[in-house]
Amino acid sequence: MSEANTGVDAETVRKIARLSRLHVSEDRLAPLADELNGILSWIEMLGEVDVEGVEPMTSAVEMDAPMREDKVTDGNVRDKVLANAPKTEAGYFVVPRSVE
């Protein structure tokens, strides 16, 4: 697949890196563009697979999700949980302020 078909070139990689806040050196832009074009080529090949009549699935192996009875089992252990905290107040964890 050529770069013209996918639109991924060194400038596009530069833009993706900037938006992702990643540092990519100039000498890596063209090789990364080639890698992305290869990935996009594989993705396009998946579009050629005939999936007519194939039901969507959530797992490769059909199985039922294990279910349990919906009941409280180990509740009311606040003091045990808070015992591991470095600092607590009035039954709550105390953490440093992250937003001023």
**For residue 80, is it within any domain?**
no
**For residue 27, is it within any domain?**
yes
Q: What range does the domain containing 16 cover?
A: 3-46
**For residue 74, is it within any domain?**
no
State how far the Cα of 21 lies from the Cα of 28, in Å rounded to an integer.
Answer: 15
**For residue 98, is it within any domain?**
no
Tell me the pLDDT of the chain averaged across its residues. 87
pLDDT (tens digit per residue) in 53-66: 988 888 888 888 78
Q: Which residues contact 94 (CB under 8 A, 6 or more apart)?
A: 85, 87, 88
pLDDT (tens digit per residue) in 16-44: 999 999 999 999 999 999 999 999 999 99
Could you report how far apart the first and last alpha carbons of the chain are, in Å? 50
- Number of separate domains in the chain: 1
Q: What is the predicted pLDDT for the residue at 1?
A: 45
